[in-house]
Structure 1
Amino acid sequence: MATATSRHSERRISPVFLGIAAIMVVTGWAVWTGFSANLGLAVFLFVTSTWIVSLCLHEYAHARTALHGGDISIGAKGYLTLNPLKYTHVLLSIVLPVVFVIMGGIGLPGGAVFIEQNRIRSRWKQSLVSAAGPLTNVLFAIVCTAPFWLGALDGVPVPFRFALAFIALLQVTAAILNFLPVPGLDGYGVIEPWLSYRVRRKVEPYAPFGLLAVFVFLFIPEVGAAFFGLVHFVLDGLCISDLETYCGRDLFSSLWQEQTPACEEIVSW
């Protein structure tokens, strides 16, 4: 039987997560103040560490909701410590999402906490466990875009503003992709409890390939254009322009690519 001490240790925030959060705060301060001698490096570290923090919170939301739904095995697996090294597949949850951000500026959904669905007491709770992750991305997007839709940008340095806009882009893409009802993604997890056993058994073999299929379809020009059209429609509703997200990505990638003259001129204002 778990003691109070063991339960506390299972929920103690990991030093690994605290270290990542510290990098986010320090580099965010460096971008804000212009303290860093290399702005591109500061933006890269700020965006990357913030993205990893959001991935950890995404997985934590799944785990915490599952715990309250009846899966008491969650704590012993280390998922409540926010330690990304405890995930079932660190490659899928952390490494690949970061690589995709670096390569193309898209928020790849993570997904590697093992939930014992048979312990969850109702179909509604099973659906909520799956929805909790992408809803965290939605909340993250709302928080980091607050200065934009509140009209509180006076005094916010331009590089920091662009970095926030790019972070918002990542959160919105992650939320939309995760909510797709595709096997292997959280959107399918939301509807799966309501499907017949026969349908679930037929779909199950395709779950490992769902995310790959989504990205293959995104390379189809018409599909990619429709997807990013939706992303920018949402961002526009949050008062973020295409120019701001473009320049944020431009700053982020300036470590290995030359910054475009237009964004360089705006940042130097």
Structure 2
Amino acid sequence: MISLSVHEFAHAYSADKFGDPTPRSMGRVTLNPMRHLDVFGTLLFVVVGFGWAKPVLVNPSKFRKPRLMNAIVSVLGPISNLILGFIGMVILYVMLNTGVMNSWSKGASDAVMVFLTLFYNLNILLFILNLIPIPPLDGYRILESILPPRIMAKIRPYEQWTVYILLLLVFIPPLYKVTLGPIFSLTIPITHMFEMIIRAIFPF
């Protein structure tokens, strides 16, 4: 709820600031999860661990520089998840190294540690996933803003099939191992980089 809501809010807020009234007219410039969560996508998260939120509708023609600003709006969603992941790691690191949890019960401290660990891992994963240039992911919208229109015109007829391809890559283990698996392994160097930054900032 936190990760997806902040992600979609980042799209809506930036589009609104760039001059597109569409997200605000649809009530998406908010952190309220109820405005962003998709019922079926949320149910799938609970059942199979993979789902989605309602996409923020954006009209790039309302932007002063449509291609550039559309790329920025698209990339800010994944970046918001990267920032959330970093914040989660900072909170966990500080709590572990300052004795904040010493007076807590073991159950409470374990629950917080598990939540924060899942929180930063999930957000780093969402950052990587959403940068993959496959529709309906943000990476595709970024690519759409960068590639010449004549090339995009050749790609668009295949957009309707890419969602099914993405689902096959997620749910068929052999395909996952040779496609998304190596991509998601990028969470490891990102986590290590964050650890180095955090230790430099907080030399406990």
TM-score interval (norm. to shorter): 0.7 to 0.9
For the residues of structure 1 that align with 2:112 and 2:19, how far apart are their CA atoms? 41
Taking the aligned partners of 1:98 and 1:169, their CA distance within structure 2 comes to: 18
Aligned-partner Cα distance in 2 for 1:111–1:201: 25
Partner of 1:14: none
Give the Cα–Cα distance (whole angstroms) in 2 for the partners of residues 103 and 73 of structure 1. 32
**Structure 1's 104 and 184: CA in aligned 2 closer, same or farther, altered over 3 A?**
same
State the 1:144 CA deviation.
Answer: 1.2
Query: Which amino acid in the other structure matches residue 170 of structure 2?
Result: L
Residue aligning to 2:86: 142
- Secondary structure of 2:29's aligned partner: helix
Moved over 6 A (4+): none
Q: In the alignment, what sits opposite 2:10? A: 61
TM-score of the pair, normalised by structure 1 = 0.58
My pick for the range that moved more, 108-117 or 200-209, is: 200-209
Alignment of 1:1-269 (within 5 A): 52-86=1-35, 93-106=37-50, 108-122=51-65, 123-149=67-93, 152-153=96-97, 154-156=99-101, 157-225=109-177, 227-228=180-181, 230-231=183-184, 234-235=187-188, 237-238=190-191
Change (3 A) 1:168 1:223: farther
One-letter amino acid of the structure 2 residue matched with residue 165 of structure 1: T
Aligned-residue RMSD, C-alpha = 2.8
Partner of 1:90: none
Give the superposition deviation at 1:127: 0.2
- 1:45 maps to what in 2? none
Q: Which amino acid aligns with 1:169?
A: N
Contact 1:184 1:209 in 2 (8 A): no
Q: How far 1:109 sits from its partner (Å)?
A: 4.4
Query: Structure 2: which 5+ residue stretches go unaligned?
Result: 102-108, 193-204
Partner amino acid, structure 2, of 1:121: R
Q: Which moved more, 1:61-70 or 1:223-232?
A: 223-232
State the Cα distance separating 1:85 from its structure 2 match: 4.9
SS of equivalent residue, structure 2 residue 53: coil
Letter of the structure 2 residue corresponding to residue 57 of structure 1: V
For residue 196 of structure 1, report the CA deviation from its aligned partner.
2.4
Instruction: Give the length in aligned residue pairs.
Output: 182
Q: In the alignment, is the contact (CA less than 8 A) between 1:57 and 1:136 conserved in 2?
A: yes
Do the aligned partners of 2:20 and 2:63 also contact (CA within 8 Å) in 1?
Answer: yes
1:141 deviation in Å?
Answer: 1.1
Distance change in 2, residues 1:194/1:161 (3 Å): same
